[in-house]
Amino acid sequence: MSLRVLIVDDEPLARARLRTLLAECDAPVATAAGEAGNAAQAMEQLARFAFDAVLLDVNMPGADGLSLAQRLRALPNPPAIVFITAHAEHALQAFELDAVDYLTKPVRQQRLQMALQKVERLLQRVPAPSQAMAQEVLLIQDRGRTERVPLAEVMYLKAELKYVTVRTPSRSYILDASLSELEERHASHFLRVHRNALVARRAVRALEKHFDAEEGEGWAVRLNGIDELLAVSRRQLGAVREALSQ
């Protein structure tokens, strides 16, 4: 298992050092999957991607790390928080915010490894997959409003130019995200049927002959709960048939 880590620090050199240290960790292996220079950038990353842990600098311009940690606690599936700072006076407050660990600068590789081991142990106590899915959500940003769309309600995800359409039985949403990233993050829940579409595995109802104006005669998948058909590429035809047989 490789831990996906978000680095949050206003100093580029500090972020670079943490990237280097993470690359040297091997028990567990960790990947610097994202970076942010302030709290707003961090929340933007967290709205788009899933992270197992956040290496969070306490002292930053604007909203500091402690304020950001309070916001992270409100997320449906918050990442583990490891505070990093040059000063130790905030340690007590950090642990009151359920931080997994608290590291002082300069961070040493061995000490970072120990913190990641704590993160790994925490993740091993997550709910069973069925319970986890019931709790997972997609965060949709729409005209200054953030809405939680439960993953269990999503029928399909379809790439449309720069955005992804998120379809539920009742309505559609626009998500600023990468389809490939969503596929990687939620592979157990969604099945790729086309280069531009993922469908909920549980919702697959039938595979039908279908004529598409762009691709000609081919196949399409029908989903429970919606009337819309989604084209299936020849490349994904076998995977769809296998999903139907299960």
Instruction: Assess contact for 196 and 243: CB atoms under 8 A.
Output: no
Q: What is the pLDDT of residues 191-214, one digit of tens each?
A: 999 999 999 988 888 899 887 666
DSSP state of 41: H
pTM summary value: 0.53
Domains observed in the chain: 2-123 (3.40.50.2300), 131-245 (2.40.50.1020)
Looking at the predicted structure, is the pLDDT value of residue 20 above 50?
Answer: yes
Task: Return phi, psi of residue 127, to 5°.
Answer: -65, 165
Q: What is the pLDDT of residues 89-98, one digit of tens each?
A: 655 555 566 7
Pick the closest to residue 165 from 187, 194, 136 (CA basis): 194
- Structure-token pair, residue 110: 């061995």
Instruction: Assess contact for 204 and 219: CB atoms under 8 A.
Output: no
Pick the closest to residue 222 from 239, 214, 210 (CA basis): 210
Ramachandran region, residue 144 (left: φ > 0; alpha: ψ -120 to 50; beta: rest): left
**pLDDT of the residue at 128:** 44
**pLDDT of the residue at 130:** 46
Q: What is the dihedral of CA 11, 13, 16, 20, to 10 degrees?
A: -130
**pLDDT of the residue at 74:** 67
- b/e per residue 14-48 (b: at least 16 CB within 10 A): bbebbeebbeebeebebebbbbbbbbeebbebbbb
Q: What is the pLDDT of residues 48-91, one digit of tens each?
A: 788 999 999 988 888 888 888 888 876 667 889 999 987 766 55
User: Helix axis angle, 39-48 relative to 65-73, nearest 10°?
Assistant: 30
